[in-house]
Amino acid sequence: MKKLAVFVLALATASFAFAGGGQQGGGSSGGVTKGMDRKIVMGYSQIGAESEWRTACTNSVKAAAAEWNIDLRFSDAQQQQQNQLQAIRTFIQQKVDIIAFTPVVETGWEAILKECLDAGIPTICVDRSIEGSDRVAANPNDKNDPDNWFTAFIGSDMEQEGNRAAAWLIANAAKIKPGKSVYNIVELQGTVGSSAMTGRFKGFRDTFGIPAASALGTSADGKFKIILSQTGDFTRAQGKQVMEAFMKSNGNDIDILFAHNDDMAIGAIQAIQEAGKVPGKDIIIVGIDAVKGAFEAMVAGTMNASIECNPLLGPQVMETAVNILNKKPVEKWVVSKESDYDQSNAAAAYPSRQY
Ligand code: GYE
């Protein structure tokens, strides 16, 4: 009995390691999947748990899979692309019906996605996209178009989120810090090479009229100047750490912090306070995601605005999967609906926030 238990445990550990960490089976209590005549199996490769946003996304996917009665094989890659590639390869070997994945970075997906195509397994790209994709397949037969390497994309327009952050600053900076001829901006970038980072980086600069190829630069009208820009990898801890360094080198010159996500902004708020400045007043803070932590900070006055990025993608993923497997036509890009929040509407919206 004991031997058997050890053997089972060893097997479980082996399959855990093979799947690249954290693979779990979903609820397989029989029955059929909603909208199907059988129960389907979905392999899901998630990036990790770097932020409040990611946790909300994972919870949404798991809850929706249970609701649709889909057998979800969920794998947490712990931020490593290598683990994602391994997990997807395992899903192919297991002959799952469909694979959904969130690419941690934009590059390095061609080979594995072509393996999925060869195996006849459709794929759904969730939240972040891959290099060269505009999520419109101009010619469905062109094998070199990355948009033909996956079946559908479900997620936000990251570039537009960068645009929205800049537009909010153009409309509001002078109300919070009046009488300045130039506003100095520091930027905390997300995970380098992720579509969430490259899109927000470019969109932010485009709206200001700063060349998208340069990390630092001044807006076309001369009023906004990016003076420092570094990655905080989308985490609170690194957001704080990098902001500490920014405060040491340029603490008295910083007017604005633009963080590619709220977690980094929240980490940075601590660093600003520890450096003896008042977040939300001395330094205007704009984040992206609109997670609960940002609402708390906006209500407390320490953060100024957050551009919403919707993580509740589970239902759309399951619905799209069922449509694909039923051979119904699906949108190539299902764009998420989003809003902007700041201190003027945060308190009213807070009670109904789901993440
Ligand atoms: O903004 C950030 C997360 O890819 C949209 O990843 C996502 C981003 C999100 O870690 O908080």
Task: Provide the pLDDT for residue 331.
Answer: 93
Query: What is the 179 CA–ligand 1 centroid distance (Å)?
Result: 34
Tokens of 264: 């980094």
Q: Ligand 1: does its nearest atom lie under 6 Å from the Cβ of 51?
A: yes
Task: Provide the pLDDT for residue 17.
Answer: 38
Pocket test for ligand 1, best of 53, 55, 153, 201 (most atoms within 8 A of CB): 53
Task: Provide the pLDDT for residue 14.
Answer: 38
pLDDT digits (tens, 9 = 90+) for 43-61: 999 999 999 999 999 999 9
pLDDT digits (tens, 9 = 90+) for 58-93: 999 999 999 999 999 999 999 999 999 999 999 999
CA angle 261, 53, 278 (to 5 degrees): 40
Task: Provide the pLDDT for residue 138.
Answer: 82
Q: Can you tell me the distance from the alpha carbon of 279 to that of 264, in angstroms, rounded to the nearest whole number?
A: 13
| Residue carrying the six token digits 């330094």 | 283
Tokens of 90: 């395992």
Q: What is the position in ligand 1's atom list of the atom closest to the CA of 263?
A: 11
Q: What is the position in ligand 1's atom list of the atom closest to the CA of 102?
A: 4
Task: Provide the pLDDT for residue 234.
Answer: 98
Task: Provide the pLDDT for residue 15.
Answer: 40
Query: What is the 290 CA–ligand 1 centroid distance (Å)?
Result: 11
pLDDT digits (tens, 9 = 90+) for 151-186: 999 999 999 999 999 999 999 999 999 999 999 999
Q: What is the position in ligand 1's atom list of the atom closest to the CA of 288?
A: 1
Pocket test for ligand 1, best of 54, 106, 156 (most atoms within 8 A of CB): 54
Strand bridging mode 340-342 / 305-308? antiparallel
Q: Is the pLDDT confidence value at 19 over 80?
A: no
Q: Which residues contact 234 (CB under 8 A, 6 or more apart)?
A: 50, 51, 190, 191, 194, 196, 260, 261, 263, 264
Q: How confident is the model at residue 8 (pLDDT cuts 50, 70, 90)?
A: very low
pLDDT, average across residues 261-270: 98
Tell me the residue type at 89: R
Could you give the residue ranges of the DSSP H alpha helices within 97-232? 110-118, 158-176, 195-208
Q: Ligand 1: does its nearest atom lie under 6 Å from the Cβ of 52?
A: no
Task: Provide the pLDDT for residue 118.
Answer: 97
Q: How confident is the model at residue 334 (pLDDT cuts 50, 70, 90)?
A: confident
Task: Provide the pLDDT for residue 245.
Answer: 98
Q: Ligand 1: does its nearest atom lie under 6 Å from the Cβ of 265?
A: no
Least confident span in 265-269, 295-299, 337-341: 337-341
Least confident span in 21-25, 119-123, 241-245, 298-302: 21-25
Query: What is the 38 CA–ligand 1 centroid distance (Å)?
Result: 34
Q: Say if CB 176 and CB 170 are below 8 A apart.
A: no
Task: Provide the pLDDT for residue 29.
Answer: 64
pLDDT digits (tens, 9 = 90+) for 217-240: 999 999 999 999 999 999 999 999
Q: Ligand 1: does its nearest atom lie under 6 Å from the Cβ of 54?
A: yes
Q: Ligand 1: does its nearest atom lie under 6 Å from the Cβ of 84?
A: no
Query: What is the 178 CA–ligand 1 centroid distance (Å)?
Result: 32
Break the chain down into helix, strand, coil percent, rounded to 5.
Answer: 40, 20, 40
Task: Provide the pLDDT for residue 137.
Answer: 79
Q: Is the pLDDT confidence value at 6 over 90?
A: no
Query: What is the 12 CA–ligand 1 centroid distance (Å)?
Result: 31
pLDDT, average across residues 109-135: 96
Task: Provide the pLDDT for residue 337.
Answer: 81
Task: Provide the pLDDT for residue 38.
Answer: 97
pTM of the model as a whole = 0.91
User: How many residues does this entry show for the chain?
Assistant: 355
Task: Provide the pLDDT for residue 9.
Answer: 40
| Of the candidates 126, 44, 48, the residue with the CA atom closest to the CA atom of residue 88 | 44
Burial group, residue 17, by CB count within 10 angstroms (0-12, 13-18, 19+): exposed
Q: Ligand 1: does its nearest atom lie under 6 Å from the Cβ of 289?
A: yes
